[in-house]
Amino acid sequence: MSEDLRWVEPQPIAIPEDFRRAIGGHPLVAETLYQRGYRTAEAARAFMDPDAYQPTSADELPDALSAYELITKAINNREKILIWGDFDVDGQTATTVLVEGLRALGGDVIYHIPIRAEESHGITAPVLQNYLDEGFDLLITCDTGITEHENIQKVRDAGIPVVLTDHHTLGGTLPPAAAVVNPQRLPEDHPLRTLPGVGVACKLIEGLFHYLDEPFEGGPYYELAALGIVADVAILKGDTRWLLQKGLQQLHHTERLGLQTLFTNARLNPQRITETHIGFQIAPRLNAVGRLSDANPIVEFLTTDDPGRARVIGMTIEALNAKRRMMTRQVAQAAEKILADSPDDRHAPAIVLHYPEWPGGVVGIVANQLVERYHKPTILLTGKDPFHGSARSVDGINITQAISTQSHFLLSYGGHPMAAGMALLPGNFTAFKKGVASAVETQAREVERAAEIEIHQTLTLPEIDLDLISEIERLAPFGPGNPPLNFLIRGLTFVSASEIGQTGEHRRVIASDGAVTQQFLWWNGADKPLPAEEFDVVCQLSQSDYRGAAQISAEWIDDRPAQISGPPKPKQPLEIIDRRLNPAPLAALRETLAHESSIQVWAEQSLPEGLRAHPRQDLISAETLVIWTSPPSHNVLNEALRVSHPQKVIIFGINPDLASPHQALKYIAGLAKFVLSNRNGEVRLTELAAACALDRELVRTALLYWEGKGAFTVDLDEDSVRILAQKMEGDPEATEIYLEVFQNLWGETLAYRKFFQSATSESLFPHR
């Protein structure tokens, strides 16, 4: 069970019988709707069915009519319109909506999305000056601008009107724009209040079409809105929820070549796209571009009708996403080490950490991971002078408000209740850190918040079927304002587990109630301890269609020991025999094999001459495991121990022959050619990784590097690899990124092998 995480089990609730009958189906649906404030059949239907909801007129947005007038004048006079967006998914999609919509109305449109490493968020004065020198006649911002008083005044002084569209928290005064279209200016309960940047852009374009009496086909805009709504974790109420529902419907048959390419690369079935796919597979790919590179090509990617351009940009997106995963893991490991070494930081009301070399593009992602693990607001800062970074929060704690209490220490800041960015001078860090902790502690006392999981219903394994999941999906899409349902299942026993995902960071766990087994997906659970005794689990249920067949998907959320009588069974300690410094390892291994029974040798790439050895995919249960080759990572070592569950481990730890990244790349290319010639191009990624004594992610990256070089085409699906002799035009940008990622991963492998050679056995096998 997660530390300090309380399980809140469901209490009986009285539902009016006429409401229950009107909703129909599983009682859980009516109960959930009633608990969440939808107390009439009409309100419930409008919540579940977007066609039963009456969307709000865009004219109700603040300054909407002024914006229409200014934009109409620019279109009619063939004036140049500059769209200024932002580099996250919300900003990318908002920019695309405005560019596409205004061009459809005949507008002369150019656009600019800031390059994060050079400009950061918002409007940068030197870049703005370049555009002023080149000339434009109307500036429209999207997902940015609400704190840009000086830059907007500069545009106004040049005689150019500004339409500001944004959704971030208002400052003390509004910028001097001709129109400030921000839903934060509306009352708290207004149905447009929770729109993110792309939602504001989408409603503005819709309103503009109606203002000009032009027919409006919303679907292509709504699908972009769906991406930004989920990516920006917008609260799913009113028109925000409606836009997401309509957008998901449109995504199921999107005509955008860019999205079709992305779905293919991510191995997604468009007809089954859900908010979960957007949040965990689509948005991270698009965000990777904005975080690590230049997001301007994303507008082209989302609007192009050229298959070649869609393919090339799609390859670059995949490469940057691989780089993002690597950098995120490295920063997360570093942050966890700081917390492990500093109880004061770990137990503070808010986690506030700084390291000058962390890449700014991923600190927000890692902050979010730490929030999920420690259930408290987190701020991660990088840079030397100034410090700058990102904050993420938990429900009930407005992190932007907490940061604003320390504004006297800050050079800049901005955001919304769940996320923010900021910059400060190094000398102010200690005081800022202390002040934020105090502000968060004050908010926490006011809301009396405790980290908890709300359980909606207790189930048994036989009750879980596709009919139940169809009922649950009547309440979708889920997200802030409509959280997914948590189900408690009691009294399970562990059956087996396996690592999944491109880097083996996730787990597939099979558990049983004694008669029925159920598979659970445990995201980012590969390094978490598995239950040793009978346990209870909280999970979320949905439907997947892996390989085209409808299946139950149960997501592991949390677990705890079941309430059983008697003391727990004592755990048998693992016996470790260390022979890493043996001067004659092969002779020592032969002697060991002569005297040990039920023994298997785990060796890869550099095999012990004349002796039978097993690569990782062929390991089985055995009393004694010999580790002949140094493992490439802690995850690979853990998986070998899990599969073989030995009572004794004998360590030799011989380093494999591959001595450089260049040598490894050539070796993997040779393996690929062998697979093409002898196995019809089909192989398991784990098998290739074992042949090289490397991590799966390293080998996967190498294959994509060679694809980027145009050597062959590779189709990757979890552990399945299909190599095709078909050569396509190379992509130098993607190739360069994959090479950088490969070299970084190679460095991680060398560092782990160095650690494996010198660490104590207690460090190598903690909790064993």
CB-neighbour burial class of residue 686 (10 A; exposed 0-12, middle 13-18, buried 19+): buried
Cα–Cα distances (Å) from 710 to 298, 645, 707, 714, 732, in that order, read: 23, 42, 5, 10, 10
Edge-to-edge strand list for the sheet holding 162-165: 108-112, 80-84, 138-141, 162-165, 179-181
Phi-psi region of 709 (alpha: psi -120 to 50; beta: other; left: phi over 0): alpha
* Cis peptide bond upstream of 386, omega within 30: yes
Longest dimension (CA), the chain: 91
Of 106, 31, 16, residue with least CA distance to 457: 31
d(CA 648, CA 765): 12
DSSP label at residue 281: I
DSSP label at residue 623: S
Q: How far apart are the first and last CA of the chain?
A: 19
Q: Is-contact 653 757, C-beta < 8 A?
A: yes
d(CA 700, CA 712): 14
Domain 342-450 fold: Diaminopimelate Epimerase; Chain A, domain 1 (3.10.310)
* CATH class for the region spanning 661-755: mainly alpha
Residue listed under structure tokens 């990782």:
616
Q: At CB < 8 A and 24+ separation, what contacts does 286-289 make?
A: 286/89, 286/92, 286/227, 286/231, 286/262, 286/317, 287/88, 287/89, 287/231, 287/324, 288/317, 288/320, 288/321, 288/323, 288/324, 289/87, 289/92, 289/316, 289/317, 289/320
Question: How many Cβ atoms are within 10 Å of 613's Cβ, its own excluded?
Answer: 17
Kindly give, in sequence order, each residue whose CB lies less than 8 Å from that of residue 316, ignoring residues fewer than 6 positions away: 289, 293, 297, 731, 733, 734, 737
pTM: 0.90
Q: What is the pLDDT of residue 450?
A: 60
Q: What is the pLDDT of residue 548?
A: 58
747 phi and psi angles, rounded to 5 deg: -60, -40
As annotated, the residues of the chain forming the CATH 1.10.10.10 domain(s) are 661-755
Q: Is-contact 661 746, C-beta < 8 A?
A: yes
User: Looking at the domain that runs over 6-41+454-561, which CATH code has it been given?
Assistant: 2.40.50.460
Domain 58-319 fold: inorganic pyrophosphatase (n-terminal core) (3.90.1640)
Question: How many Cβ atoms are within 10 Å of 76's Cβ, its own excluded?
Answer: 12
**Neighbouring-strand partners of residue 500:** 506
Calculate ∠ Cα 80-93-175, nearest 5°. Answer: 60
Q: What is the pLDDT of residue 417?
A: 85
Three-state secondary-structure class, residue 472: helix
Of 142, 124, 118, residue with least CA distance to 61: 142
Tokens of 480: 């802030």
Over residues 86-115, the pLDDT tens digits come to 999 999 999 999 999 999 999 999 999 999
Q: Is-contact 469 476, C-beta < 8 A?
A: no
Q: Is-contact 326 277, C-beta < 8 A?
A: no
DSSP states of 181-216: E-GGGS-TT-TTTT--HHHHHHHHHHHHHHHTT---
714 phi and psi angles, rounded to 5 deg: -125, 135
Three-state secondary-structure class, residue 326: helix
CA dihedral 144, 149, 151, 157 (to 10 degrees): 130
As annotated, the residues of the chain forming the CATH 3.10.310.30 domain(s) are 342-450
Q: Is-contact 268 277, C-beta < 8 A?
A: yes
Residue listed under structure tokens 């003391």:
567
As annotated, the residues of the chain forming the CATH 3.90.1640.30 domain(s) are 58-319
CB-neighbour burial class of residue 408 (10 A; exposed 0-12, middle 13-18, buried 19+): exposed
Tell me the Cα Rg of the chain. 28
Q: What is the pLDDT of residue 1?
A: 47
Of 185, 180, 178, 219, residue with least CA distance to 202: 219
As annotated, the residues of the chain forming the CATH 2.40.50.460 domain(s) are 6-41+454-561
Q: Is-contact 603 614, C-beta < 8 A?
A: yes
Ranges of beta strands (E only) in 566-661 are: 575-578, 599-602, 624-629, 648-654
Low-confidence ranges of the chain (pLDDT < 70): 1-4, 447-450, 502-503, 546-549, 563-571, 767-768
Q: What is the pLDDT of residue 571?
A: 59
